[in-house]
Amino acid sequence: MLGKKLREALAKLTGRAYVDEDAVKSLIKDLQRVLIASDVNVKLVLSLSKSIEERALKSGKVAALSLKEHVMKVVYEELVRLMGESYSPRLDRHKILLCGLFGSGKTTSAAKVAHYYKTKGLSVALVAADVDRPAAQEQLEQLSKQVGARFYTVKGEKDAEKIVRKALSESKEDVIIVDSAGRSAFDSELTKELKGISGALKPDEVYLVLSGDIGQVAGKQAEEFNKAVPLSGVIVTKMDGSAKGGGALSAVAAAGTKIAFIGMGEKTGDMQVYNAEKFVGRLLGVPDMEGLMEKIKEVTKEQDVKALESEELTIETFYEQLKAAKKMGPLSSVFSMLGANDVPKEMLQQSEQKLKQYEAMINSMTKQERKMPSLLKSNPARISRIANGSGCSEKDVRDFLAQFDKMEKLMGKFKRDRGFRKKMEKMMKGGIPGMGGMT
Ligand SMILES: Nc1nc2c(ncn2[C@@H]2O[C@H](COP(=O)(O)OP(=O)(O)O)[C@@H](O)[C@H]2O)c(=O)[nH]1
Ligand SMILES: [Mg+2]
């Protein structure tokens, strides 16, 4: 383990924004409290926070992100590693088995999933293989009518496997969804029944239906079901209530599976395909997780664009950099991030205006023109078109092209010549704005 001071020094040397260890630790303490309050299994919280701490300290922070955002990014990525970024339900012919304990929302979810596939234009069969309660079969029959799915069962049959075999032999639908019996607790009877159904059905997807509010027991439950019939995903129900869904996180971690759908109400349309930004936001109590991740993605993309520097400079890549720079905020803050705090105000305003002009011009160029500026240089018609399109004069356009030419040469030199690079860096530190080469 490196000493803190040494690590800070190293971070500075390698150009990384420095990450404060104590601050990260205290942020992670907060995170632990939140996750435990959201019903995530304590052991899981501890192992998660350990890997989050390690990564948050090790990975370089993007200068434009606050420390909290940096940690949030790591947290988000770790959670996504467990639960998946989003779920893409398959849209071909396939067979689905739903399992779960009594009252978890299996039958309702069967109808919701059926509804989902109907809206995708697929035909759907719902099979009632809950042999314990005749009422459950009627419930599914009613729901089938509502969603326009074909309904299969054998009334009075006590062998779930037989119902499934019969449905399979008759059904021609694209998607076959089997609703199985639940128990109030997991037992060997249920295992036997599920294995029987699974053997007959040979499901492509096995979803465990879990109520979002079951809390700490979710992990154990998922493990048990996963042993009986290997799960391919979890459907979390009742997320329209106060549940935070931490149980689902424990469940997918324990069974090594992913979240597929989220139930958001009692009606057949009340279901969403799982999406990490919404789910993680709720789990962590961050109301605008989508907004936050959007920002993080943009700023991180900007960093990737910097890596583009080694790539060829075209108007296209220049434009990407321009857009990325804009997302970082006004030029003044970009300069101060570069360590140039004393750029005269007029100069900033002028540069800001120039950049706007450049953007308008590039917007008026075709993709080809952006890739090959030489198409423009010798072509007055094109130049006049761009001037008209961007509200600039033809001279502005020609100036920009000449400027771009210079920049291109400069970049080439920059890449080839390490000594030149050093000089440039020195110049920038001396307060000469980085945009100097552009204006
Ligand atoms: N609010 C809400 N209620 C749900 C949801 N999913 C199921 N339910 C209700 O939970 C109860 C049990 O559902 P059911 O599908 O019969 O569970 P099963 O025993 O697993 O088949 C019913 O009253 C459903 O209306 C949901 O996403 N939100
Ligand atoms: Mg049921």
CATH number for position 179: 3.40.50.300
90, 204 Cβ separation under 8 angstroms? yes
Q: Are residues 344 and 400 in the same domain?
A: yes
The residues pairing with 128 across neighbouring beta strands, listed in sequence order, are: 179
Residue 295 domain-assigned (yes or no): no
Flag whether the pTM goes above 0.85: no
- Rounded to 5 degrees, φ, ψ at 178 are -105, 125
Nearest to 428 by CA among 323, 316, 288, 334: 334
Question: Whole-angstrom Cα distance, residue 306 to residue 299?
Answer: 11
Degrees (nearest 5) of the Cα angle 83, 113, 264?
Answer: 65
Structure tokens at 420: 């030149």
Q: Are residues 47 and 126 in the same domain?
A: no
- Give me the number of domains the chain comprises: 3
162, 198 Cβ separation under 8 angstroms? no
Ligand 1 site residues (CB inside 6 A) read 100, 102-108, 182, 209, 237-238, 240-241, 263-266, 270
Query: Structural domain of residue 51, as residue ranges?
Result: 4-83
Q: Are residues 174 and 224 in the same domain?
A: yes
Q: Are residues 267 and 244 in the same domain?
A: yes
Q: Are residues 366 and 254 in the same domain?
A: no
Burial (0-12, 13-18, 19+ Cβ within 10 Å), 209: buried
- Rounded to 5 degrees, φ, ψ at 100 are 155, 165
Q: Are residues 250 and 332 in the same domain?
A: no
Q: Are residues 102 and 135 in the same domain?
A: yes
Question: Whole-angstrom Cα distance, residue 438 to residue 400?
Answer: 9
Q: Which ligand is nearest to the CA of 135?
A: 2
Q: How many CB atoms lie within 10 A of CB 186?
A: 18
CA of 228 to the centre of ligand 2 (A): 19
Q: Are residues 114 and 237 in the same domain?
A: yes
Q: Are residues 39 and 144 in the same domain?
A: no
Q: Are residues 267 and 345 in the same domain?
A: no
Q: Is 240 helix (H, G, I), strand (E, B) or coil?
A: coil
Q: Are residues 129 and 205 in the same domain?
A: yes
Q: Which ligand is nearest to the CA of 183?
A: 1
Question: Whole-angstrom Cα distance, residue 187 to residue 352?
Answer: 69
Q: Are residues 353 and 409 in the same domain?
A: yes
From first to last of the 439 residues of the chain, give the pLDDT tens digit: 445 555 555 455 455 556 788 888 888 998 899 898 888 988 899 999 999 998 888 877 777 788 888 888 889 989 998 888 899 999 999 999 999 999 999 999 999 999 999 999 999 999 999 988 878 899 999 999 999 999 999 998 999 999 999 999 999 999 999 999 888 888 999 999 999 999 999 999 999 999 999 988 899 999 999 999 999 999 999 999 888 889 999 999 999 999 999 999 999 999 999 999 889 988 888 878 888 888 888 877 766 555 545 456 678 777 777 776 666 666 666 565 555 556 667 767 777 788 888 889 998 898 888 888 888 887 889 999 999 999 999 999 998 888 888 777 766 665 666 565 555 555 544 443 444 434 3
The H or E element that residue 168 is part of is helix 160-170
Degrees (nearest 5) of the Cα angle 248, 28, 35?
Answer: 20
Nearest-atom index, ligand 1, CA of 209: 20
